[in-house]
Structure 1
Amino acid sequence: MNQKERMLANLPYKAWMDGLGEERMETKKKIYKFNNLEPEKQDEKNILIKDILGKTGENVNIEAPFHCDYGYNIEVGENFFANYNLVILDVARVKIGDNAQIAPNVSIYTAGHPIHPDSRNSGYEYGIDVTIGDNVWIGGNSCIMPGVTIGNNVVIGAGSVVTKDLPDNVIAVGNPCRIVRKITEEDQDYYFKDRKFDVDDYR
């Protein structure tokens, strides 16, 4: 098994071997072009991001700047939106479902290093898959850590560090991120805290 195969299998690997450095460089070139595209060239922007990512829905919108390692390990569903400064370290697979909304300065990390300094100094690192369900909203400045699975319909509060799996239909916040409460049918009538919708077409 070469180092790329080890990386994709979530095993310890060395990131400068077996063509991995060259692959990252090719992705950096694509990302540079995407991040420096004139803002009015929306059609070209869509083509560029779909060339960077491994799989997308028809409708995908990522605001520049965006950064990732390889791109081909990232899969996003339909109606994907990410605001400024999304960082995805995709040495392992990152799968995100439909209708994701990602606020500014969110980081999704599959990458990590051994805890012990001797092991860490050996040059080995690892990537563990991250999975995010449908209809998930991730608040600004949040970090999703390696190996985490986030369920459907989850809201993650700003500034959270998600280190453990989250089930469907919950609000979770904090560092480390903890579940605050379940999302209920009553929540449908409110757009912010105790403020109810004053229109009827939100349902």
Structure 2
Amino acid sequence: MSQTEREKMLANEPYFSLSDPELQMMMAAAQELLYPFNHSRPEEHEKRAKIISKLFGSIGRNFTIKPPFMCDFGCHIHAKDNLFINYDCVILDCNEVFIGNNVMFAPKVQIYTAYHPLDPEIRRSGLEMAAPITIEDDVWIGGGAIICPGVTIGAGTTIGAGSVVIRDLPPNVVAVGNPCRVIRNLYN
């Protein structure tokens, strides 16, 4: 039996999203939830919480997500307790995004599971790929940081503002730059 485009997407195999009715319907459903979330009034905390609970694949207790917030599907985002996401976050969740406990995102953090073929001819065909991202417990991601496909960020790590994380980072470090690199171990 052949795989659906969504199954290929979640398996980090080449897939077509723009021509696939299931993926287009899922993206449209996410946008329908994001519109009222991003246009909610500041005091509408319960409304926002209900929308995020419907949008995300799973969400723990005690979370704050400040609008505007954007994602592709929402259902591939899994967050544990005490999540804080500041203004203008983008999560391209074409694959799973796992977020641990006590994680904080500063403004304009971008999480990208999606990527494209390097060969222009293949890219023109519309094929895409997506690799999962894991952000472990107690991570703080500074403003404007970009987390690239397939990355794992270890527990207790701090990512400096404007960093571009292109490979895994160990736990309990401070990492900065483009490309992001470890500049300090927190407990050594």
Q: TM-score range by the shorter chain?
A: over 0.9
The 1:18/1:6 distance shift into structure 2, 3 A limit, reads: farther
Q: Which residue of 2 aligns with 1:7?
A: 9
1:25 to 18, 23, 28: 28
Pair member with larger Rg = 1
Which runs of 5 or more structure 2 residues have no equivalent in the other structure? none
Which of 122-131 and 1-10 deviates more? 1-10
User: Aligned residue for 2:40?
Assistant: 37
CA contact (8 A) 1:4 1:18 kept: no
Name the TM-score, length of structure 2 as normaliser. Answer: 0.96
Instruction: Name the counterpart of 1:190.
Output: none
User: Is 1:169 aligned with 2:172?
Assistant: yes
* 1:11 partner amino acid: E
Q: Distance between the aligned counterparts of 2:75 and 2:29, measured in 1?
A: 12
Structure 1 vs Structure 2: percent identity of aligned residues? Answer: 46
- Secondary structure class of the residue paired with 2:64: strand
- The residue aligned with 1:67 is 70
Offset of 1:18 from its aligned partner? 4.0
Aligned to 1:46: 49
Q: Secondary structure of the residue that 2:8 maps to in structure 1? A: helix
> Using the alignment, how far apart are the partners of 1:153 and 1:123 within structure 2?
38
Which is further off, 11-20 or 76-85? 11-20
| 2:39 counterpart letter in structure 1 | N
Q: In the comparison of the two structures, how many residue pairs are matched?
A: 185
Offset at 1:159? Answer: 0.3
Shift of 1:130: 0.3
CA drift of 1:60 comes to: 1.1
2:181 corresponds to 1:178: yes
Alignment of 1:144-163 (within 5 A): 144-163=147-166
The normalised TM-score by structure 1 is 0.89
Amino acid at match of 2:158: V
